[in-house]
Amino acid sequence: MGFFSWLTADTKETIPNIYSKRKRKPVYLVLPEGNLKENGYGGYGEFCGFDAYALLALKNGDGYDRDKGIHIFFSEEHRTGQLEFCLKFSFNPKAKYDKLPPSEDCPNQGYFYPELNVGGIG
């Protein structure tokens, strides 16, 4: 299983995982009922004790199912914010769910940053 991550919804910054050489800071899973703080994203989708993709499926009525959540995340409805619930992340602890667009997939997977991997992986 490989790494994956997201971009913050408000600033489009990558969320680096704990194995990256990139500086990390607390990031928030922004929810309608309040934000959950994650101090060290592990790189495999668990965020604040929840599988983020399974949470996405659950909040859209599909049960706590990671595979369904992945399918939902990469759907047009998620990209355009047309779902009841979309994944939204921010470095701002005061970010408001209803003010943000859905987060996007991180092209660097939270780890493979070109400026940090000159001459090899890691």
Report d(CA 122, CA 71) in Å as an integer.
29
Report d(CA 29, CA 88) in Å as an integer.
6
Per-residue pLDDT of the chain (122 residues; tens, 9 = 90+): 589 999 999 999 999 999 998 889 999 999 999 999 999 999 999 988 999 999 999 999 999 999 999 999 999 999 999 999 999 999 999 999 999 999 999 999 999 888 755 444 44
Closest residue by Cα to residue 38 from 30, 47, 87 = 47
